[in-house]
Amino acid sequence: MPTLTDSVALTGPLDTAALRRAATPLTVTVDAAVRARVERGRRLFRTLREDGPVYGATTGFGALLGYAGRADEADQCDNTLAHLGAGQGPDLPEEITRAALLLRTWSLAQGHSGVSAEVVDRLAAMFATTFAPAVPRYGSVGASGDLIPLAYATQALRGRGHAYLDGRRLPAADALTAAGLTPLTLDGRDALALVNGTSVTTAALALARDTVRAAHRALTTLTCLLTDLLGCDPGFLDAELLRAYGHPGAAAVGTRMRHTLAGVTPSGTRPLQEPYSIRCAPQLLGAAEDALAYVDGVVAADLGGISDNPLFFAGDAGDAGDTVTGKAVHGGNFFGQPAAFAADLLASVTAQLGNLAERQLDLLVDPARNGGLPPMLTTTPGVQHGLQGVQLATTAFVAEIRRNTTPASAQSLPTNLHNQDVVPFGTQAALRSYDMAGLLGLLAGSLALGLRQAAHAGARRPTAPRCAALLDALAARIPPVEPDRPLDADVRAAARLLLTYELP
């Protein structure tokens, strides 16, 4: 059994740190208060089901709502899940799948979904292992929740389909047995509640947002190091100048950059005005900061919201075993439009941050603009090629990011016999943003590698202590490029360092 290194409670809202911790084994606690509210919601569901139709428990699904479902509860579970086994494509990263299931567990644990307490307990137990359902990437429109991907996850928890254990893909039943887990037994309400939420979308968006935020911080710091290495005048960061611009993000970024560059001494050899990739960096990075603040708000709301349909709201709590009064409300809390808009905005931010990193690296390797450093930052041009391959790769990364910036939220198509006549496509937007965020991290790592190599190829020692400390951290991790060597691992190493680096 893996060692449990962390724990998450289902009492308060989740955060993205909890989602990241879900990638590895952890303890998910279901306390007495959580169990009581789940059981109260379950009793209310059973009461209301006797009084009239409840979607998914006594009916068909989606456009077939007007037809009766299956009479047997276990059969109604199969009725929910079997037809949703239509996903295609490669499996989602285990990090996303487990984060999505943690979100689903939290939502169900709020007691408004009418599921059994056993479902919540079994889901919580899964996180103590490395079990991760195999979930295909394509198939969700992000309305009525992430139906198809969550159906695969639920089927794996029942022992059907495939799953990963310790990183190995196995038949789900074998993975459950090896992990010491018992297959889930569900009725129609349990099964529908497991699939009728936007948990995959929210998980992918939250993880992508975290990576982009880390890259944004890294690029802010790297711009300062570039400024110092080239001997630029930091006047473009003047506090009065940026206050006059009127945008709070630019002012905040400028404050951070002035802090990083404290003690810098301009060389006096640079042009009066730097290229936009330096001079306009606080405006660009500041606009990104303002946009990311909007994404932050959407992520926080989704992490603290309940996505399901219907929801059950109890009136009198009553004692255990008492009849609970209340209502079932059929609505659209599974509609992932906020996340779709936020993910599309995040894609635009990622594209411009990636463009900034690529343009700064291009400036750095160009002897016409880099203050007299050798081309491609190699000390023996022609005999060695320095950063030439890395620059080619960054061009490809930026092109790939740009290709994926078309807004997914603008692509609504009617489906499901026009029951789902508008859909947000948030799942595609969020998963695409997750992929793009990874490329942005590599672009930041590429720029960092270039800055480290510039110091080797003749750039001055940074005069700002914090810039010098960052350069020293990079140099300690990455040797100079001489002679030429494959640099893919160095780019990844620089990216890993940057995404966790804290300025002194």
Q: What is the pLDDT of residues 23-45, one digit of tens each?
A: 999 999 999 999 999 999 999 99
CA 310/CA 115 separation, integer angstroms? 11
Strand segments, DSSP code E, in 56-130 are 88-91
Residue pLDDT, tens place only, 399-454: 999 999 988 888 877 876 666 777 878 899 999 999 999 999 999 999 999 999 99
Can you give the residue ranges of every domain in the chain? 7-197, 206-302+336-500
Q: Which of 55, 152, 434, 501 is catalytic?
A: 55
Predicted pLDDT at 419: 65
The question of whether 138 is a catalytic residue gets the answer no
pLDDT at 1: 42
Positions in the chain short of pLDDT 50: 1-3
Cα–Cα distance measured from residue 281 to residue 223, given in angstroms and rounded to the nearest whole number: 8
Q: What is this structure's pTM?
A: 0.95
Q: What is the pLDDT of residue 68?
A: 74
**pLDDT computed for residue 440 by the predictor:** 98
DSSP state of 461: P
- Spatial CB neighbours of 503, under 8 Å, sequence gap ≥ 6: 221, 259, 260, 466, 469, 470
206-302+336-500: in CATH 2.40.50.100: no
109-125 in b/e burial notation, b at 16+ Cβ within 10 A? bbbbbbbbbebbbbbbb
**CB burial readout 241-275, b (16+ within 10 A) else e:** ebeeeebebbbbbbebbbebbeebeeeeeeeeebe
Which among 44, 47, 110, 112 is positioned nearest to 317, based on CA atoms?
A: 44
Termini Cα distance of the chain = 39
What is the architecture of the domain spanning 7-197? Orthogonal Bundle (1.10)
